[in-house]
Chain A
């Protein structure tokens, strides 16, 4: 059962879209899973043939449970060999490849090794068994990304010092402590989601030493430019100013790597890819923040299309697992709700959340002249373990700077 978010603890297989013997390739949707937040399609990250289905439809299992086995080329159909990972609750040779939110999903996991083999030194393996470290959470720093003894020891130390952080990790054996699985497939989403949000946000507030910064941004250039651009487009393709905000954040974060990534195992892990989580409120209440991938590399039109698609699918409850799982920074905009300032709570294990308020006309002094300008409050909630206020301030200023040159976005 893949983790589809840091706060997901159990999942229910609603439907299998494949059967044993089917060939699957990386990116295929193989199952639909009901989580406490949404119904999510499970995609696979390795190609091969479905060897067997382990968890039947209707059954709820903790994250990390083997739900199916994919046989890769050359492998003989056989039961999965859980020898690769010593701790029993952890997924062995990963089943329907569990996405690991801690790793950059755009990078092929470990290219050289067969996908089901953990790339780990013999010594690290032995130490992991001794220290009972869940290897699926350990990021390798050895040759070709192999897990070394130091990696395992680091993970073990982190797990000891901050068990809660471990619990936040994706495929967590700690899930065993999750609420007992309920037999019924049906879930009261509203109640469940509130519970998940409660757990996640409480954890965030409890563990993340937030600091908050705010700055006013003159939005006149951005709005004027957007207006003129939109005039050239059919109505269906016109962009919302939110897209400018997302792109500005994504570009600014390139120069502030400490804002983009995860705090895990007591250390910060930077992500090269910029996947911006977009907080989207649900009609029935509740909130979800799926990611738009590689925002820093996409033109505005594509980001807009992504955003539109995302909102639609959030409301239709057909999100993909990777979209749920791998935001590296989150943007929340409550401007539409008339709010001027947002001080957000970081979505763990991310380390920063950028908030945007309503654009309002304000008197604005510039070059000794006072005029009326559209002004927006940009805020930053950041994890003080990963960054400091000085850098946070520069980060906000960078976002401002990008918004002053919208044509370059």
Chain B
């Protein structure tokens, strides 16, 4: 049973809806530009785009406060933007500039931001889960009513660390929100080709972790599910598991001929583009008009352009500083 939104938890009014829409559009336009910049060799390394999955990060982030923590994967531009990390510092990071959110030492896959409690940017599948367990453990031991939201793809479910962490967090009743972004493919391996039991929620419930699936293309459903789950988690009931059923519209990374899925399948999913769906709904409800949409697009275009300008003008950290941040810099007594 896919989770259906229940209006009682939603902030009222169009202002919130516009904010959510704006965030999704920002992510979409920002990443479209990233693809272009990658082709132009401005961005190098691996570049994994989130296009098509924006509703998940944007919806889920609505449930988090500034004290909560986020642990994400290598497909995390959307999460960073939705969490509030500035487009400038994310773009600069991808440019490898010192002004980047990780000083150019992380790149696309390793966005970090202490100010927003954004703990990466983890590029070992499943590797971020134990860290999230630890962050939640620290909160529990310190008596802080905070939530750690941990994003991971359905591919991570095949990793031992997933199972260890489900067990540990349930055993210790940790304030942890597991956000599984099921986009059906672990790189090129379809879920049904890698899991003997493709019902992911069943796996979580086997560890006594409450779990339910969410329509990941419906941002309202995503936000609503996250809010409910976060409420339970924050209340000390232990971890929750949300399976966001979503789809990435673009390739796994920039070098991917996509031999593993049909173009028709992609086209079918694109008909449920989360931005289009939400726009349609808001227009139908009369919350926004074309002018609002244009304003968002214009603002977003300006923001992205500014981020590029910022990054182009950024500094290359001197190579003499190469060995910094291997160990902490502290005054020696």
- Are chains A and B touching in the complex at the 8 Å CB cutoff? no
Interface residues of chain B, those whose CB is within 8 Å of chain A, are none
Interface residues of chain A, those whose CB is within 8 Å of chain B, are none
